[in-house]
Amino acid sequence: MLHSILHSVDDLGIATLRLNRAELHNALDDTMIVQLTTALETLIADARVRAIVLAAEGISFCAGHDSAWMQRMAGFDQEGIKQHARLLATLLGTLDNCPKPTIARVQGSAFGIGAGLLACCDIAIGASEALFCFSDVKLGMIPASAAPYVMRAIGERAARRYFITAERFNAGKAKRLGLIHLVVEDEELDMAVAQMCRQVLLNGPQAMAEAKQLVRELGGRAITADAIETTIERIAQVHASAEGQEGIAAFIEQRAPSWIHRE
């Protein structure tokens, strides 16, 4: 088992991927970044897995970069910094492009790259006491690796403010900005995540993967003839798939489709 990353899969196919450096508020270093990427790739390839919950041990989700690792990076040349940035880019890209539903369970601090991780998830659920911040500029740095994903979530205007002020903001503000989708009381966090997992388990696994791909293809595009043609082609492909045919048959026959777990 990976020491700084824990992962498990339950009988329903819900995988939980946990950051496991609670004593450091789950701050990331290079080793943890690689381990998290590897664990995520393993879960993506696992046919049992229907959805992935990104969670963390302890009182914080992820407080950004590990201070000891930042001290080591202080001696890096530009090429060394680029190599580190590529590790982060690979992690964020792998999470963002995951074909399976991803749900972030956020408590405590979600700072810097921690906020970037949750911005890459399809659904983010935050405890009411959670705090968010992009503090890179306080160190004379910028949140470059997380920026594309965070900006997509909160928009350019909000990103300008929070990237340059390094203000901390609460879960209510994060929800209004679009960084998280749902805010619940701390003691209700696990229940809310479990409920969301049950919701996605009702849906066709391949259909959800195709829906995510459709969003990626159409995101930011103008509604042109090419975009409309993309939707026509995709719905025809999904309709003809084995899963699509099973879903239609289940609807007509008034029964549960094959992907819904039966006790």
pLDDT in tens, 228-238: 999 999 989 99
Q: Are the CB atoms for 133 and 114 separated by under 8 Å?
A: no
Give the model's pLDDT for residue 2.
47
Give the model's pLDDT for residue 72.
79
6, β-bridge pairs? 18
Is 122 exposed, middle or buried (CB count within 10 Å of its CB: 0-12, 13-18, 19+)? buried
Superfamily of domain 5-201: 2-enoyl-CoA Hydratase; Chain A, domain 1 (3.90.226.10)
* Residue of 239, 195, 224 lying closest to 105 (CA atoms): 195
Give the model's pLDDT for residue 202.
96
State how far the Cα of 26 lies from the Cα of 106, in Å rounded to an integer: 12
Give the model's pLDDT for residue 9.
96
* Residue of 125, 169, 135, 177 lying closest to 152 (CA atoms): 177
pLDDT in tens, 180-238: 999 999 999 999 999 999 999 999 999 999 999 999 999 888 999 999 999 999 989 99
Q: Which amino acid is at 215?
A: V
Question: Distances from the Cα of 200 to the Cαs of 28, 151, 175, in angstroms?
Answer: 29, 26, 21
| Residues of the chain below pLDDT 70 | 1-2, 263
Q: Are the CB atoms for 3 and 19 separated by under 8 Å?
A: no
User: Concatenated DSSP letters for 4-66?
Assistant: SEEEEE-TTSEEEEEE--GGGTT-B-HHHHHHHHHHHHHHHH-TT-SEEEEEESSS-SB-SB-
Q: List, in order, residues 6 or more apart from 118 with CB less than 8 Å away.
A: 54, 61, 104, 106, 110, 124, 179, 180
Give the model's pLDDT for residue 263.
63
Give the model's pLDDT for residue 79.
87
User: What's the pTM?
Assistant: 0.93
3-state class (DSSP) for residue 89:
helix
Q: Are the CB atoms for 123 and 98 separated by under 8 Å?
A: no
